[in-house]
Structure 1
Amino acid sequence: MKNINQIKKRVYTAIMSVFAMVAVVTILSCDPTIESLSYDLPEASSKADATPPTASFSASVTADYLTWTFGNTSSSATDYAWDYGDGNTSIGVDGVNTYSGEGTYTVTLTASDKLGVTSTFSLTVEVVEPPAPAAITPVIVNADFDKQAKSSGSDCTCSGWINKSLGAQGESSSGNGGSDNVLKFDNDEQDLTYQEVEITPNTDYTITVVASFKSIETGTFPSKLEIRVLSGSGYESGYTPAYFATAAEYPQDDFGYTSVAQMEDTDNNLLVSLVDNPGNDGYNTYSYSFNTGNNSSVALLMRGVNGDGTPSDDKGFLWNSGEEEIRVDSIVVEPVE
Structure 2
Amino acid sequence: MEVELPVFSYSSVSAATNNFSPQNKLGEGGFGPVYKGGLQNGQEIAVKRLSQKSGQGFEEFRNEILLIAKLQHRNLVRLLGCCIDHVESILMYEYMPNKSLDMFLFGSNKQETLDWKTRTRIVEGIAQGLLYLHEYSRVRIIHRDLKASNILLDDEMNPKISDFGLARIFGGTDSRGYTNRVVGTFGYISPEYALEGLFSTNSDVYSFGVLVVEIISGRKNTGFYKTDSLHLLGHGWDLWISGRGVELVDGKVGSAAASKALRYINVGLLCVQENPNDRPNMLSVVSMLSSEIATLPPPKKPAFSTTNLLSSYSSQPKSYPSEHHLTISEIVLR
* Structure-1-length-normalised TM-score: 0.21
More strand by share: 1
* Structure-2-length-normalised TM-score: 0.21
**Quick one: higher RCO (CA 8 Å, sep 6+), 1 or 2?**
1
Larger of the two Rg values belongs to structure: 1
